[in-house]
Amino acid sequence: MEWICHLNEIGQVAADFWASQHNHRVFAFHGEMGAGKTSFIHALCDARGVKDVVGSPSFSLVNEYAIAGEPGTIYHMDLYRIRDEEEASRAGIEDCLYSGSICLVEWPERIPGLLPPETVHVYMDWIDNDSRRIKIADN
């Protein structure tokens, strides 16, 4: 599945994304700096009714958001600053990945061996200033 997503359509694309992926839980977002991973993850959180979506969890590694009207939470992880899988393990990343909660992971390349096998891989590419390609690997 693939979308060409203009910045002002990001909410609609996020809704389409969830409609196509409702039975999946762990999502790995691949893409260079500025590809739009954080922006799209925020749109995905908005689309699930998360209140108070805050900035990139670059310093905390993990942000946990409550989902409005649902018991679950969403984990947003930014692993850019993680050196290796051992450091990620020590930071409790697997506890999140195997918690049963929705996990949205930036820089998943840092932890290939820790991602659950059923992880959905999403690829984001720059097209122009306000447009990105968002591609979900077949699953």
Ligand X SMILES: Nc1ncnc2c1ncn2[C@@H]1O[C@H](COP(=O)(O)OP(=O)(O)OP(=O)(O)O)[C@@H](O)[C@H]1O
Residues engaged in binding ligand X (CB under 6 A): 5-7, 10, 31, 33-40, 56, 106, 130-132
Q: Are 116 and 97 in contact (CB under 8 A)?
A: yes
The candidate with the shortest Cα–Cα distance to 28, out of 85, 109, 89, is: 109
CB of 34 to ligand X, least distance (A): 5
Q: Which of ligand X, Mg ion, none interacts with 130 (beta carbon under 5 to 8 A by kind)?
A: ligand X
Q: Which is nearer to Mg ion, 38 or 119 (CB)?
A: 38
d(CA 126, CA 137): 17
Give the footprint of Mg ion on residues 5-44 (CB under 5 A): 37-38
- Which residues ranging from 95 to 134 are in contact with Mg ion (CB under 5 A)? 106
- Site for Mg ion contains 63 (CB under 5 A): no
**CB distance 63 to 28 below 8 Å:** no
Q: Is 26 exposed, middle or buried (0-12, 13-18, 19+ CB in 10 A)?
A: buried
Which residue has the CB atom at the shortest distance from ligand X? 36
Q: Which residues bind Mg ion (CB under 5 A)?
A: 37-38, 56, 106
